[in-house]
Amino acid sequence: MLLQLPFTWITVCAWLKFWVKYYLALSIFRPTLEECLRWKKSFEKLLSSKYGLCAFTAFLVSEFSEENILFYFACEEYRRTKSTTKLQAKAQKIYDEFIGSDAPREINIDHETRDITRDNMLMPSSSCFDPAQHKIYMLMAKDCYPRFLRSPTYRDLVSSESITG
C-alpha cells in the first residue's frame, strides 16, 4: 500500500533485531525535527518515511508487537508476486507465520477475519490476505500509532532533534 521494502519479510526479522540493538549506540538515526513532526500528522506519513518506519518498528519491537508491521509488509510483498506458482507457497508461509494455529508471530485478528483468510487459502490470489492486512493496518493506525506518538521513543527524537536541530 505505502512503502515497498527492497527485501523479503524474513530478512526484515533479522534486520529488526540488528537495527533495534545498534541504532542508538551507533547514532545512525538522524531524522530532522521537521520530519519527526510530520509523522504526527498521519499514520501514512509515518510509514512513508524511512526514519519514521524505523522508529515505529523499534517502538513495536519494544512492545513485543512487531508481528503487526512484519505481517503488513509480508502482505505487501506477497501482493507484488507475479508468478502464480510462487503465490501458493508464499501464501502458506505467511499463513503459517502469522495466522495459523500455533503461528510463531500470530497477529491479533478476530475469528471471522481468520476464517475468511483460511478460506481464501484454498485458492490463493494476490488479495487473499487483504481483509487481515486491513485489520492489522487499522489496529496499528488506531492503537499502536497513538501510543507511539506518546512514547519516549518519539518524544526523545523530537526533543533531541529540537536541541541539535
CA Rg value for the chain: 17
* pLDDT score recorded for residue 157: 84
**With pLDDT > 70 as the criterion, what percentage of the chain qualifies?**
79
What average pLDDT does this structure show over 118-143?
A: 96
Q: What is the DSSP letter of 127?
A: T
- Lowest pLDDT segment from 9-23, 36-50, 77-91, 119-133: 9-23
What average pLDDT does this structure show over 56-69?
A: 90
Domains and CATH numbers, the chain: 9-64+144-164 (1.10.196.10), 67-139 (1.10.167.10)
Confidence category of residue 7, pLDDT binned at 50, 70, 90: very low
For residues 99 and 73, is the Cβ–Cβ distance under 8 A? Answer: no
**C-alpha to C-alpha distance for 134 and 113, rounded to whole angstroms:** 10
Cell of 114: 481468520
Residue 14 has pLDDT above 60, yes or no: no
Cell of 94: 505467511
pTM of the model: 0.81
Residue 6 has pLDDT above 50, yes or no: no
* pLDDT score recorded for residue 162: 57
Confidence category of residue 25, pLDDT binned at 50, 70, 90: very low
* pLDDT score recorded for residue 113: 97
Of residues 90 and 162, the one with the higher pLDDT is 90
Confidence category of residue 12, pLDDT binned at 50, 70, 90: low
